Amino acid sequence: MKFSDQVKIIDKQTIQEDVFTITFDHVPEMGLVKPGQFFNVACDTTLLRRPISVCEVTPTSIVLAIKVIGKGTAFLSKLRVGDQMEIMGPLGNGFDLVEDSKVLVVGGGIGVAPLKALFEAIKPKNISTDVIIGFRDQPYLLEAFQSSADRCTVVSETDAGYLKGYVSEPLRAHLEETQYDMVYVCGPLPMLKAVAHICNEKKVNAQLLMEEKMACGVGACLVCTCKIKEGDFGFKHKRMCVEGPMFYASEVIFDA
Ligand SMILES: Cc1cc2nc3c(=O)[nH]c(=O)nc-3n(C[C@H](O)[C@H](O)[C@H](O)COP(=O)(O)OP(=O)(O)OC[C@H]3O[C@@H](n4cnc5c(N)ncnc54)[C@H](O)[C@@H]3O)c2cc1C
Ligand code: FES
């Protein structure tokens, strides 16, 4: 039985004009919360719940980092400390935390939020971690990566004082120079597609946190399916909210 109840907002921080974090208690009824899992968060009563990944998990608290996109996230941005928020979760499979010796984390935009939770989880395991993160403009949620990654490359599409361009360019260079055991990826669909293509070409294992429109979040409505390879030539539709949102790059079939 999934946790589904109201939680009280115990902290809220503005990260950028349209990016903020919300913190609530990690109560025992939620059980283990894995990086890459998400909560379905109720907005106002006229809207479907919105899926939001965990950005930080401690034994006592959970932080979500949210970018304002439309009505639902705008509603959440107006909540204050002390307000109640209705959530269900944790949902989805989350990342496989393998005991690898060398990993690369690749994120784009608000996709860095679940990667922060992943990064914090693998840090104590003494895993050597490189990071490439890309933003449309000014970066956010950088500190954790910059302070502890072996190498942290930040790119921006605008002249924000960082390497200009997309994550795919430094990704190719990193894969040429270093043998990674696993690449962990989250970001917008075109980025996921490009990164999956490069990793598959270079035969490097990659876990993608897929993003798709969702409604129920628990596998009932079939809104969130994607094509996953089956056998040598076939494919199967899998629900991102239950069997995902993490899928391996080698198994995802992206629509053209
Ligand atoms: C598994 C998962 C984890 C996510 N984690 C985060 C996170 O940690 N932080 C964060 O800011 N955002 C996250 N998102 C994206 C977030 O759910 C959407 O930005 C949000 O649903 C947009 O809702 P809206 O009402 O503000 O926008 P609107 O555009 O008004 O939404 C309209 C409809 O489209 C859906 N929708 C719109 N954009 C997206 C999108 N990019 N992905 C999925 N559904 C979308 C909404 O659910 C809604 O049903 C995640 C999405 C998924 C699938
Ligand atoms: S959101 Fe309903 S099946 Fe995935």
What's the gap in Å between 242 CA and the centre of ligand 2? Answer: 8
How many angstroms is it from 224 CA to the middle of ligand 2? Answer: 5
Looking at the CA of residue 55, tell me the nearest atom of ligand 1.
8
CA–centroid distance, 214 to ligand 2, in Å, is: 5
What integer best gives the mean pLDDT of the chain?
94
Tokens 């034994």 locate to: 59
Residue 244: is its pLDDT beyond 90?
A: yes
| Domain boundaries of the chain, sorted by first residue | 3-91, 102-209
| Strand pairing category for 163-164 and 225-230 | unpaired
Q: Tell me the per-residue pLDDT of 48-70, one tens digit each, with 9 for 90 and over.
A: 999 999 999 999 999 999 999 99
Ligand 2 nearest atom to the CA of residue 224, by list position = 4
Rounded to the nearest angstrom, the distance between the alpha carbon of 203 and the centre of ligand 1 is 31
- Pair of tokens at residue 194: 């490009």
Binding pocket residue ranges, ligand 2, CB within 6 Å? 214-217, 219-224, 239, 241
Whole-angstrom Cα distance, residue 64 to residue 46? Answer: 22
From CA 152, how far away is CA 130, in angstroms rounded? 6
Could you tell me what percent of the chain has a pLDDT over 70? 99
Quick one: average pLDDT of 133-147? Answer: 93
- In which element (H, E) is residue 78 found? none
CATH class of 102-209: alpha beta
**Distance in angstroms between the alpha carbons of the first and the last residue of the chain:** 37
Task: Say whether 102-209 and 3-91 share the same fold.
Answer: no
The binding-site residues of ligand 1, defined as CB within 6 angstroms of any ligand atom, are 38, 48, 50-53, 65-67, 69-73, 110, 113-114, 211-214, 245
Of 50, 192, 213, best ligand 1 pocket probe by most atoms within 8 Å of the beta carbon: 50
Quick one: CATH architecture of 3-91?
Answer: Beta Barrel (2.40)
pLDDT digits (tens, 9 = 90+) for 109-119: 999 999 999 99
The contacts found for 26-33 with CB under 8 angstroms, 24 or more apart, are 26/57, 26/58, 26/59, 26/60, 26/61, 26/62, 27/3, 29/3, 29/5, 30/3, 30/62, 30/89, 30/90, 31/3, 31/90, 32/90, 33/57, 33/62, 33/89, 33/90
Atom in ligand 2 nearest the alpha carbon of residue 225: 4
Atom index in ligand 1 nearest the CA of residue 48 equals 49
Give the Cα separation of 110 and 96 in Å (integer): 20
**pLDDT beyond 90 at 103:** yes
Q: What is the pTM of this model?
A: 0.95
Q: Give me the pLDDT at residue 154, please.
A: 96
